[in-house]
């Protein structure tokens, strides 16, 4: 299955494992909760989905790359103990707690989360001395004399033999005690993720033209050459950083992430073209509805790759607006919920406004620290929390500067500030809506009802942020063209069925 299907299946399995009956016992006994074994190519996103699942299920996550461990760190160190059996004293060997098991208990203690995932990466690449220990763990969920606590689900991940020479095959006894899931790369699924993560437009544009270059691992006379999903995502990060710093993106830079010389060179050349198209085609003018006719003529007669690249530039700029609008909306919802609490505090507390604000800020800071410690926030969510806390600090400073000693006056000031923010949000929605409609008009004028408009419509439909925006705020042109496209598809299907009936007769 692909990584999206895998994530859904693992999340469903975890929910089933953690379901309890009316007496508080797990409906599926722990001994029947098979460890999940993910087998798939490297760099496909196995670790990333475990982090996402833990956050979404609000459970803990302890992650280890098992190849970094020795037998001693996995099962614990031996120690000599005196034991009495039937009245006779014996010297016996026991073991300290496994570092891995200890990490689970430490996670529980630090976060208060009693349930979670123990994720062991590269589980089939352990050393010869550690291999028996891992087999024992998968079969019995124990390292040495210590078991993982109830409520913690084991997930292991490994690479098939064709990707790693160190792979050790599991025997039938072990495989019969795990739930094995085979993973495969899938560009269309990764593309949905790439839109949500705001990967660089040049990467999405390039891969739309050359999908076969998305994921490659092959041997050459110079050794392994490869490009992975992880490589594209990390390359996106460095592209944004280099552009912000006005640094040149050379082929050597690209090779650090796409470790396949031919593809690295090809993308580096494409990236230069992408930047050139940014200058040649004035995208902001298109969004503002001011595109000049000579640009329409130039694009109309351009090659396929150039037309697709300009579409990507347009979609990328729109996607940024959709993303910013979405973040503004989510931030205002979060702030509004917090201000409802502020209003209640001001109405019921017999303290000065700045003291109340200090208490609320302290609560939010503790909430942020707890969620970060538990691993329940991704980078975007963490930034949103920090932004909210900074705004509360701003409100407190303004209350002090304006000497607002009465609670009702202090809250009136905060409400006035919030209303201004809502107005800015409404203006952003209007600008983004106009940009979207102007884009449709530009494409209609340039290509009519051609394939380019279909590509534009399809990419909007596949982007989480664009569909969120259109779903909430509408788009006359999107609805019109989407209905036209659906009608055209239905017409083609009917014509195909008529042809098939004619052949039968």
User: Are 359 and 476 contained in the same domain?
Assistant: yes
The pLDDT-based confidence of 169 (bands split at 50, 70, 90) is confident
Is 67 a member of any domain?
yes
Over the stretch 244-298, which tens digit does the pLDDT of each residue have? 999 999 999 999 999 999 999 999 999 999 999 988 888 999 999 998 898 899 9
Is 94 a member of any domain?
no
**CATH at 7:** 3.40.50.300
- Segment among 166-180, 262-276, 311-325, 364-378 with least mean pLDDT: 166-180
Question: Residue 178 pLDDT more than 80?
Answer: yes
User: Are 14 and 117 contained in the same domain?
Assistant: yes
The pLDDT-based confidence of 485 (bands split at 50, 70, 90) is low
The pLDDT value recorded for residue 305 is 87
DSSP code for 200? -
Can you list the pairs that 500-504 forms with residues at least 24 positions away whose Cβ atoms lie under 8 Å?
none
User: Are 153 and 195 contained in the same domain?
Assistant: no
Count of C-beta atoms within a 10 Å radius of residue 381: 16
* Domain tally, the chain: 3
User: Are 372 and 300 contained in the same domain?
Assistant: yes
The pLDDT-based confidence of 500 (bands split at 50, 70, 90) is low
Contact between residue 184 and residue 292 where contact means Cβ atoms under 8 Å apart: no
The pLDDT-based confidence of 71 (bands split at 50, 70, 90) is low
Contact between residue 346 and residue 408 where contact means Cβ atoms under 8 Å apart: yes
User: Are 273 and 291 contained in the same domain?
Assistant: no
Question: Residue 231 pLDDT more than 90?
Answer: yes
CB burial of 104-117 (b: ≥16 within 10 Å; e: otherwise) equals: beebbeebebebbb
* Calpha distance 505→502 (Å, rounded): 5
Contact between residue 155 and residue 38 where contact means Cβ atoms under 8 Å apart: yes
Is 472 a member of any domain?
yes
Query: What residues does 100 pair with on adjacent strands?
Result: none
Domain boundary among 258, 281, 304: 281
Structural domain boundaries enclosing 259 = 186-281
User: Are 335 and 370 contained in the same domain?
Assistant: yes
User: Are 307 and 350 contained in the same domain?
Assistant: yes
User: Are 180 and 190 contained in the same domain?
Assistant: no
Is 383 a member of any domain?
yes
Over the stretch 388-443, which tens digit does the pLDDT of each residue have? 999 999 999 999 998 888 888 888 999 999 999 999 999 999 999 999 999 999 99
Is 114 a member of any domain?
yes
Length of the chain: 505
Contact between residue 236 and residue 254 where contact means Cβ atoms under 8 Å apart: no
* Calpha distance 214→423 (Å, rounded): 42
Is 96 a member of any domain?
no
Q: Is 414 helix (H, G, I), strand (E, B) or coil?
A: helix
- Tell me the pairing of strands 36-39 and 142-143: unpaired
Is 79 a member of any domain?
no
Entry pTM: 0.79
User: Are 226 and 291 contained in the same domain?
Assistant: no
User: Are 158 and 210 contained in the same domain?
Assistant: no
Domain boundary among 184, 211, 228: 184
Is 54 a member of any domain?
yes
User: Are 240 and 257 contained in the same domain?
Assistant: yes
Question: Residue 138 pLDDT more than 90?
Answer: no
The pLDDT-based confidence of 73 (bands split at 50, 70, 90) is low
Domain boundary among 134, 167, 184: 184
User: Are 160 and 192 contained in the same domain?
Assistant: no
């Amino acid at each position: 299955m692909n990584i999206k299907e895998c994530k859904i299946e693992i999340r469903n399995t975890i929910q089933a494992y953690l379901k309890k009956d009316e007496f508080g016992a797990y409906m599926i006994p722990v001994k029947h909760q098979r460890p999940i074994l993910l087998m798939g190519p490297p760099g496909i996103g196995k670790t990333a989905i475990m982090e996402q699942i833990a956050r979404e299920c609000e459970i803990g996550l302890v992650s280890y790359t098992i190849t970094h461990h020795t037998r001693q760190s996995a099962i614990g160190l031996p120690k000599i103990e005196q034991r009495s059996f039937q009245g006779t004293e014996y010297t016996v060997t026991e073991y300290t707690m496994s570092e891995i098991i200890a990490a689970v208990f430490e996670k529980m203690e630090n976060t208060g989360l009693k349930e979670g995932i123990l994720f062991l990466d590269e589980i089939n690449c352990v050393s010869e001395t550690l291999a028996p220990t891992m087999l024992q763990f998968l079969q019995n969920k124990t390292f040495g004399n210590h078991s993982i606590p109830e409520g913690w689900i084991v997930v292991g991940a490994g690479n098939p033999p064709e990707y790693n020479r160190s792979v050790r095959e599991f025997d039938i006894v072990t495989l019969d005690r795990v739930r094995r899931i085979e993973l495969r790369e899938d560009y269309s699924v990764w593309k949905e993720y790439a839109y949500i993560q705001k990967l660089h437009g040049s990467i999405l544009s390039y891969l739309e033209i050359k999908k076969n270059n998305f994921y490659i691992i092959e041997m050459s006379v110079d050794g392994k050459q490869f490009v992975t999903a992880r490589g594209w995502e990390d390359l996106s990060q460095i592209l944004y950083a280099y552009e912000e710093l006005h640094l040149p993106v050379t082929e050597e830079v690209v090779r650090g992430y796409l470790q396949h010389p031919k593809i690295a060179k090809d993308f580096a050349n494409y990236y230069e073209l992408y930047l050139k198209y940014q200058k040649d085609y004035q995208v902001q003018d298109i969004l503002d509805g001011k595109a000049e006719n000579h640009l329409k003529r130039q694009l109309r007669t351009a090659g396929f790759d150039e037309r697709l690249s300009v579409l990507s530039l347009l979609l990328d700029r729109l996607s940024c607006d959709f993303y910013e609008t979405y973040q503004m909306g989510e931030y205002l919802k979060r702030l509004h919920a917090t201000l409802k609490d502020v209003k209640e505090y001001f109405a019921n507390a017999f303290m000065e406004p700045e003291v109340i604000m200090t208490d609320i800020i302290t609560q939010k800071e503790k909430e942020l620290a707890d969620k970060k410690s538990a691993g329940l926030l991704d980078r975007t969510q963490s930034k949103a929390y920090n932004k909210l806390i900074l705004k509360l600090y701003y409100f407190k400073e303004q209350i002090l500067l304006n000497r607002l000693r009465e609670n009702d006056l202090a809250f009136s000031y905060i409400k006035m500030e919030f209303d201004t923010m809502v107005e800015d949000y409404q203006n952003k929605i209007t600008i983004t809506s106009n940009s979207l409609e102007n884009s449709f008009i530009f494409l209609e004028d340039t290509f009519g009802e051609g394939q380019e408009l279909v590509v534009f419509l399809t990419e909007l439909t596949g982007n989480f942020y664009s569909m969120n925006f259109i779903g909430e705020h509408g788009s006359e042109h999107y609805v019109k063209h989407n209905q036209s496209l659906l009608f055209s598809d239905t017409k083609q299907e009917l014509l195909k069925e008529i042809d098939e009936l004619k052949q039968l007769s």
